[in-house]
Amino acid sequence: MGDPVRTEDGRLLVAEEWGDPSGAPVVLLHGTPGTRLGTLLPGLAARHPGFRFLSYDRPGYGESRRVPGRRVADAARDAAAVADAFGIERFAVVGRSGGGPHALACAALLPDRVRAAAVLVGLAPPDAAGLDWYAGMTPFNVREYGLARAHLDGSDPGGLERDLAARAAVLRRNPERLLDDLRAGLSPHDLPVVEDSRVRTVLLRTYREALRVSHHGWLDDCLALAGPWGFDVASVAAPVLLWHGLDDAFSPVAHTRWLAGRIPGAEPLLVPDAGHFAAQLALPDVLRWLDGQGAGR
């Protein structure tokens, strides 16, 4: 089940640790939907002995207790609770896809604890001035986030919940259906990635665990990402790497370009011939970057 962590308000979070106990701590923030089980490919921790990896299931996923109405900003509180439980004071954060905004929240709101942040195929805030938020985005995500906004503005408060509850019921029986649903939006460069046995095993494992108990983590993630995040990305002072495949249709690269123009000193790394799921293979590059920032020692 992983390691139970109790927050100050008594909630349960499920966390897990991998790698070198004396290594540089890195907290990994999973995607949407997802869990801690989707953050590391098999064997990666062993190949990077200088790092200690931590991850946890956001509220509502797996056994982590749901927090209705949670915001992206709330990830800072939970990441700090996990770090405290493992006796860690300062750490780096790495967030992929839906975990990217949550990694930025940690960097913005825990400035004395977060040494560096990496965001892989992340999203910009929904109120990003001058950004056409949906431009270039696959219809799968346009629909999902459209339903989230309709929930938040009251025009269709039950639509997203009905949609995700029905989909989660199917995916509990067969998590491969989610990969099938996503396939129409994959770039040609993504197809071999999701067919890679290591990546596919990790994705199916995390989807299964994410939805095993309920669809609430998925629901609350969508609402959090589509609503006010609760912090200003321009307040991030730690070093930030923004990694993005140029052929990503799930999180369009324009989002990373927008973030690069707002986060002081952020380093964009825009990768040709790479789509959304190429981020599953990018962690070694991120770890080298962390070493260069002094966050890997």
Could you name the CATH architecture of 3-292?
3-Layer(aba) Sandwich (3.40)
Q: Where are the alpha helices (DSSP H) in the chain?
A: 44-47, 74-85, 99-109, 139-152, 159-173, 176-182, 191-195, 197-211, 216-226, 253-262, 283-292
Minimal CA–CA distance to 30: which of 5, 4, 9, 55?
Answer: 55
Cα→Cα distances 71→101, 105, 115, 237, 270, Å: 10, 10, 22, 21, 28
In the chain, the amino acid numbered 173 is R
Pair 7, 85: CB distance under 8 Å: no
pLDDT confidence of residue 180: 87
Measured torsion, CA atoms of residues 239, 243, 164, 227, in degrees rounded to the nearest 10 = 40
- Rounded CA gap, 75 and 113, in Å? 14
Minimal CA–CA distance to 37: which of 215, 202, 174?
Answer: 202
The reported pTM is 0.97
Q: Are strands 91-96 and 24-29 parallel, antiparallel or unpaired?
A: parallel
pLDDT confidence of residue 297: 57
Two tokens, residue 76: 């800072």
pLDDT in tens, the chain (297 residues): 789 999 999 999 999 999 999 999 999 999 999 999 999 999 999 999 999 999 999 999 999 999 999 999 999 999 999 999 999 999 999 999 999 999 999 999 999 999 999 999 999 999 999 999 999 999 999 999 999 999 999 999 999 999 999 999 999 999 999 988 888 888 899 999 999 999 999 999 999 999 999 999 999 999 999 999 999 999 999 999 999 999 999 999 999 999 999 999 999 999 999 999 999 999 999 999 999 888 765
pLDDT confidence of residue 181: 85
- Rounded CA gap, 155 and 157, in Å? 6
